[in-house]
Amino acid sequence: MSNKCNSLSPISLYIHIPFCKKKCNFCDFNAYEGIDDMIDEYESALIKELEFWIPSLENKKIVSIFIGGGTPSRIEAKKLSNIINIIKNNTYLSSDAEITAEVNPDDIPDWELSTLIDSGVNRLSVGIQSFIDSELILLDRNYTEQFAKKQIKKLKDVGFTNINLDLMYGLVNHTMDNWIYSLKQALELEPTHLSCYALGVEEGTLLKYRIEQGELPAPDDDLAANQYEHTSKTLLSYDYNHYEISNWAKTGYESLHNSSYWNMNEYLGIGAGAHSFMSNNRFSNIKNPREYISAIKTMSLNVNQQQEIKMEQVTEGEKIDESNILNEAMLFGLRMIRGVNISQFQKKYNIDPRLQFNEQIERSKNKGLMIENNTHLKLSEKGLLLSNEVFEDFI
């Protein structure tokens, strides 16, 4: 198998676990509380969907798996391990594949962490969000600073070495001091990776409703900008490599899985609402878990006619035409701090991005949002925080 691997094209797998103990007020992800009774059926559906796809993965090498949510730690570790094993046994899973699972701090005590390690999960992403108790309450997070710290230490004790912490800034009523504190607590835990996100007030969330009703003030964008700048400066001094707008890592610990999105590599999403990008097609599964489960149930697996199988679970698909592929390559590539590598772009798409996007690049450079050097096109420091002003030109 291994000599064959070189000729295989890389692909990443995303597996979606939509269950949550409590849906956070800011969350617009495909996640639900109070549907835990579906967990067993959902597991079966995931496995069945995976089996449908296995023949299509024949010529691919799986370089990363990301189990995200919702809250993957909401379901038993052995269920996840079971799924990983099916992948291992039926596809070409790279021996150095990055296998990440998202974890919520308050699920850690009940999780069989050793089972996870044994199944090959080698990276955990912990949704801490804040180390300040009052903020955790505001964010609907059901744990305290001390509890969260204890759990992270526990993860390390059982042998997880590659841990990401998710933190949020730009919160409602946030202050610079609070953010400095949270960031400092995170750094003391010495994670290999940090994702720091500005709180987004998303359509359809309870948070947005409350802000519109005037119950809560809208987050202060200028404060968020200051907090972002503070973050960049601090993490640089702690030897973290800022490699994407919202992501920092110790050298060698940049997320392989997430980088594959930004590099426009292929990925396959399994589970309710999961998105895929394969052969220049973007498509996604039915969002509602119950409907997803029943769609999967109606599919019959006929290996001989696998070309004919109708993917009942897929709801939306879009073939991305060539010019839009180039646009998307810029949209994703510019999210990375090093930017779009000009020669690699040219090699991959047979066109010099500076020619293709001459006008757009000039406009953004004139606004001081983009920088061009011999090898890369990248966002300026100002451009990172104003990236949507650049990106609208690539739509």
Exactly one of 240, 248, 277, 292 binds other proteins (CB under 8 A); that residue is 277
Smallest gap from Cβ 232 to other proteins, in A, equals: 13
Q: Taking the complex as a whole, how short is the minimal distance between the CB of residue 73 and other proteins, in angstroms? A: 19
147 forms part of the interface with other proteins (CB under 8 A): no
Structure tokens at 191: 């994670």
Q: Does 23 bind other proteins (CB under 8 A)?
A: no
Q: What is the DSSP letter of 254?
A: S
User: Does residue 52 bind other proteins (CB under 8 A)?
Assistant: no
- CB nearer to other proteins: pick between 160 and 277: 277
Residue 179 sits in the site that holds other proteins (CB under 8 A): no
Contact between 179 and 227 under an 8 Å Cβ cutoff? The reply is: yes
d(CA 61, CA 197): 31
Among 335, 341, 353, 378, binds other proteins (CB under 8 A): 335
228 belongs to the binding site for other proteins (CB under 8 A): yes
Scan residues 341-380 and list those touching other proteins (CB under 8 A). 367, 369
159: left (phi over 0), alpha (psi -120 to 50) or beta: left
- In the bound state with other proteins, the residue whose beta carbon lies nearer, of 29 and 147, is 29
HSE value, Cβ hemisphere, 13 Å, CA-based, for 335: 17
Which of 224, 272, 326, 361 is close enough to bind other proteins by CB under 8 A? 224
CA–CA distances in Å: residue 333 to residues 128, 326, 327, 328: 27, 10, 10, 8
Residue 19 touching other proteins (CB under 8 A):
no
Judged by CB under 8 A, which of 246, 280, 294, 315 binds other proteins?
A: 246
Please state, in angstroms and rounded to a whole number, the distance separating the CA atoms of residues 229 and 232.
Answer: 5
Contact 245, 335 (CB under 8 A): yes
Strand 32-33 with 19-20, pairing: parallel
Q: For residues 37 and 222, which CB has a smaller minimum distance to other proteins in the complex? A: 222
Are 158 and 114 within 8 A, CB to CB?
Answer: yes
Binding flag, residue 182, other proteins (CB under 8 A) = no
Beta strands in 273-366 (DSSP E): 275-278, 281-285, 314-319, 340-341
- Residue labelled with tokens 């991005």: 353
Residue with tokens 């710290």: 149
* Contact positions vs other proteins (CB under 8 A): 12, 14, 29, 68, 197-198, 200, 221-222, 224-225, 228, 245-246, 258, 261, 267, 269, 274-277, 282, 284, 316, 318, 328, 331-332, 335, 367, 369, 384-389, 391-393, 395
